[in-house]
Structure 1
Amino acid sequence: MSPMRQVILMRRNFGSFGMLQQQRTKLHMTPQLQQAVKILQMAAPELRAFVNQQLEENPLLEQASDWSAEAGMGLGAGSGSVSSSISGSGVGGFRSGSDYDRLQHVAGQPETLEQHLLEQLNVDMDVDEAVKRIVRYMIGNLDASGYLNLDIGLIAGELEVEGELAERALRVLKRLEPAGIGARSLTECLRLQAERLQGRHPLLLPLIEGKGCLEDIAASRMHRLKRYLKASESDIHEAIAQLRTLQPRPGAAFQGGRPSYVVPDVIIRPAGEEGEFAVTLHEAVFPRLLINAEYERLALDANRTEETGSFLHAKRNAASFLIRCLEQRRTTLLRVTRTIAREQAAFFRSGPAQLRPMTLLDIADKLGLHESTISRAVSGKFALTPWGTYELAYFFPSGFNKGFDDAVSAESVKARLKELIRSEGDTPYSDQQLADVLADEGIPISRRTVAKYREAIGFASSIHRKR
């Protein structure tokens, strides 16, 4: 960064122009500094792609022989080492030994709804080929929920078949699993499932097909349901409980898509019995680069004034700078994470409910760095903790009573709300009552904030929580 730059100004003086030379202090970000900042901010997959590109473009760069992409399956036991892999039997655990088969932990390709239905059609359905052709067309036009939104007449015209044959094909489609596939509406979808249900409640079909009954259930209008069905409240509750076992979107189970994976950048785990936590880098996501010794010797011996020598020197300087940037990235991330572990020690001991409000500036002040540096260091980075894998940005929540011993984060408030709602019994708390309870516990919170948090953790309003 260059602090001083000479600036030549044109100044108008009594109708004439003149040249005035001044020195001003001005921050200037050099291309090298821009690259260092960019590398610090890169998430692990982006960094890996960037390093691969540099390895292709710079002949002086080479990857360390003790680091390989296969290390992505493992966890670094400490700086500069790669050890055992993540265990599937417990969060933060490790597994090693020759009995560990990595192929058992490779995700298979999920079966799609179309594949699932076509297999049934081709294997289990004893229908003629003309009908199967129409069913295949219908399967290809199902939406993500498993509904068929095309008009039968349009399908018949498109395939140039009789309408009766298209209707027959639709009946075949509706016989496939999962039940409800090929429905034209929510009511039809639920009815198709209810008709196959063993031990079906006598009120189940009337609830599904009755005019406005589904809306009354959603709004908890029990008085209208009792009047329409002429049944007791307990019977209606039993039928509603059975209704809720049905799937309004039968195709949703096949929407897994391509699985995504998160490889943690750092590992935070207990160290000793003092309640302290050790922070180590996951070496698999930190490419280790070296300068090729043979090319470096050629660069040192070459004449810089010649084209070859100039090229080798430029590439040597670029390689050296990249290695320094990667090392600086490692150091900064390690320092930031260690400070987070100290400041959020209650979280690592007891879980998310103990997360305290914290800002980027809090960490920046403790490390003597700029707030923007902390922001870049935590952006897109993940930590493996005893409670699961979390993005580092998760440890900077907003909250209440910040600066006091009883400070709590928004996540802590949500956890407390969840406890209150689950223990409320037959008389649900209103949002205002929940706010009053939290205020009595020293958490000043408005009713509107309670409503926002309640919706975020997946609970309906007090009216809809009533039985």
Structure 2
Amino acid sequence: MYMRPGYGMFQQQAAKMRLTPQLRKAITILQLSTPELLEVVQQEMNDNPVLEFTGNEWEAYNASHTIHSAAVRRDHIYDPILHAASNEVSLERHLKEQLGFVKKLQPSIRNMIAFMIGNLDNNGYLAPSLNEISDVFKVDLAQAELALRILQGFEPVGVGARNLRECLLLQVQSLSECFPLVSLLIRNHLKDVADYRIHKMSAMLQVTAQEIQAAIDVIKGLNPRPGAAFHTETVPYIIPEVIIEKAGEQLVVLIHQAASPRLSLNGYYERMVKDSSDNNEATKYLFGKINSAMFFLKCLEQRRKTIFRVAQAIVEEQTDFFWKGTSHLKPMTLKRIADKLSVHESTVSRATSGKYAQTPWGIFELKHFFPSGLQMDLGDAASSEHVKARIKEWIHRENHAKPYSDQKLAELMMKEGIQISRRTVTKYREELGISSSLRRKRI
């Protein structure tokens, strides 16, 4: 029988996922970090009068929100962070205080020094040239040079330099004992020093490689950014979502109080809506706010339960890490935890991103417990953290006269059954902040 194509209307059932505003809000709350969550809670309480903190949660919230401390607890009233002396002395203030102690100085010179101080960058280097400064003050170049020399005599040593070479030379001149080779290398061979071309400089300057090595050691001890110590950024204290502690022979998972604020509905407004028989605008307004508040509380509780379940699953999978240390962290994927909890992989990703755990070995982001793995001969896998730990250990024990190359480290890994390439070793070594074998070599 021949069937001709045509048009028509048909009715059928199909399952489809739709992101409602409520579901979108629940997802958003789950993926918030603790500081972001506290801001959302504060905003929600400002917008919704029926929400209030339960018991003494308001004081706990204010303490954690104000200082962003990772150690706020009910049983610790004294907080050392609140009593720490803050370093509010800027580089400009520090230098101007020293300028005030310089007597018998011409007003034009003093004004020029103050101008130079105000034009130092965050590293303590002078931004404008002396020609530009002399033009601003309508003085000859010699007076500008005199003002600069006075400024360069202030603390910290090296401040007021116009480039790296001048900064290092100023510091060398202040050393009580320093052989001329150091200044010579800084003046004429700074690029070779950076590239660690010891034998090239040894042949060029007709000195031993040991003397070049000793001079480089002095240069490495100098400070290329003398003003940086006065430009400290505010330290963002981490509030851990989860606390994982050892309790005898068990590991206990706790949700941090500051990271999970307890809210409730205001009883006065609840009774007002319950007892009201009028269907006026005020009643409708309160009824809507109560429904909104109940959904927000449900989202917070769901977020807390999800993070708690994920943290528990991580502890079960990474037990060796929590008992023995960071080198025992094994490879793990988000999918493994998702399958274990019967949730979607994206849910685990949102529950671990930007969330931190306080462990016996320090504070780590929950994402830290999902390292990539390297194949081993026995069919098992070694985590990247384990490999990094082995690299650090081998380099710590190496012969400094003949340090291990990246290829040699890869071969040592192969002997332990870890399949790794030289390029991967290089990547891990650089992530650890360890120099290459050429720079680690001692003569």
Partner of 1:24: 14
Identity of aligned residues (%): 45
**Post-superposition offset of 1:65:** 2.5
**Post-superposition offset of 1:238:** 2.2
Q: Structure 1 CA distance, aligned partners of 2:270 and 2:376? A: 54
- Would the aligned equivalents of 2:168 and 2:186 in 1 still touch at CA under 8 Å? yes
TM-score, length basis structure 2: 0.91
**Post-superposition offset of 1:128:** 3.0
Q: 1:75 to 1:135 in 2, by over 3 A?
A: closer
Q: Structure 2 CA distance, aligned partners of 1:366 and 1:406? A: 20
**Post-superposition offset of 1:42:** 1.0
Partner of 2:114: 136
- Would the aligned equivalents of 1:302 and 1:308 in 2 still touch at CA under 8 Å? no
How do 1:165-184 and structure 2 match up within 5 A? 165-184=143-162
Superimposed CA distance per residue, residues 227-257 of structure 1 (whole angstroms, 9 cap, x where no aligned partner):
3332223233222222221112222222312
SS of the aligned residue for 1:24 comes to coil
Is 1:239 matched with 2:215?
Answer: yes
Q: 1:44 to 1:442 in 2, by over 3 A?
A: same
SS of the aligned residue for 1:268 comes to strand
Partner of 2:136: 158
Letter in 2 for 1:293: G
Partner of 1:207: 185
Match of 2:171 among 189, 193, 206: 193
Partner of 1:400: 374
Q: Structure 2 CA distance, aligned partners of 1:260 and 1:32? A: 31
TM-score, length basis structure 1: 0.86
CA RMSD, Structure 1 to Structure 2 (Å): 2.3
Q: 1:225 to 1:402 in 2, by over 3 A?
A: closer
Q: 1:416 to 1:403 in 2, by over 3 A?
A: closer
Q: Structure 2 CA distance, aligned partners of 1:455 and 1:202? A: 33
Is 1:44 matched with 2:34?
Answer: yes
Q: 1:303 to 1:31 in 2, by over 3 A?
A: farther
Match of 1:267 among 238, 243, 248: 243
SS of the aligned residue for 1:118 comes to helix
Superimposed CA distance per residue, residues 249-288 of structure 1 (whole angstroms, 9 cap, x where no aligned partner):
222222312221111111111011x2x3111111122111
**Post-superposition offset of 1:108:** 1.3
Is 1:443 matched with 2:418?
Answer: yes
Partner of 1:459: 434
Letter in 2 for 1:173: L
Q: 1:400 to 1:283 in 2, by over 3 A?
A: same
**Post-superposition offset of 1:304:** 7.3
Superimposed CA distance per residue, residues 410-431 of structure 1 (whole angstroms, 9 cap, x where no aligned partner):
1111111111112111211121
- Would the aligned equivalents of 2:376 and 2:418 in 1 still touch at CA under 8 Å? no
Partner of 1:307: 281
Unpaired stretches in structure 1, ≥5 consecutive residues:
1-12, 77-81, 86-95
Q: 1:101 to 1:35 in 2, by over 3 A?
A: closer
- Would the aligned equivalents of 1:267 and 1:383 in 2 still touch at CA under 8 Å? yes
SS of the aligned residue for 1:280 comes to strand
Q: Structure 2 CA distance, aligned partners of 1:419 and 1:438? A: 12
Letter in 2 for 1:235: E
SS of the aligned residue for 1:263 comes to coil
Q: Structure 2 CA distance, aligned partners of 1:182 and 1:125? A: 20
SS of the aligned residue for 1:383 comes to strand
Q: 1:348 to 1:204 in 2, by over 3 A?
A: same
Superimposed CA distance per residue, residues 136-188 of structure 1 (whole angstroms, 9 cap, x where no aligned partner):
21122222222223221111112333332222111111111111111122221
How do 1:58-457 and structure 2 match up within 5 A? 58-67=48-57, 68=59, 69-72=61-64, 82-85=73-76, 100=78, 102=80, 105-106=83-84, 108-124=86-102, 127-209=105-187, 211=188, 213-272=189-248, 274=249, 276-303=250-277, 305-401=279-375, 406-425=380-399, 426-457=401-432
Q: 1:351 to 1:126 in 2, by over 3 A?
A: farther
Q: Structure 1 CA distance, aligned partners of 2:434 and 2:159? A: 29
- Would the aligned equivalents of 2:352 and 2:367 in 1 still touch at CA under 8 Å? yes
Letter in 1 for 2:35: P
- Would the aligned equivalents of 1:267 and 1:280 in 2 still touch at CA under 8 Å? yes
Q: 1:248 to 1:126 in 2, by over 3 A?
A: farther
**Post-superposition offset of 1:21:** 4.7
Q: Structure 2 CA distance, aligned partners of 1:352 and 1:102? A: 28
Q: Which structure dedicates a bigger proportion of its chain to strand?
A: 1
Q: How many pairs were matched up?
A: 431
**Post-superposition offset of 1:105:** 4.0
Letter in 1 for 2:288: A
- Would the aligned equivalents of 2:131 and 2:141 in 1 still touch at CA under 8 Å? yes
**Post-superposition offset of 1:293:** 0.9
Letter in 2 for 1:56: N
Unpaired stretches in structure 2, ≥5 consecutive residues:
none
**Post-superposition offset of 1:107:** 5.7
Q: 1:418 to 1:302 in 2, by over 3 A?
A: same
**Post-superposition offset of 1:101:** 5.5
Mean Cα deviation higher: 410-419 or 399-408: 399-408
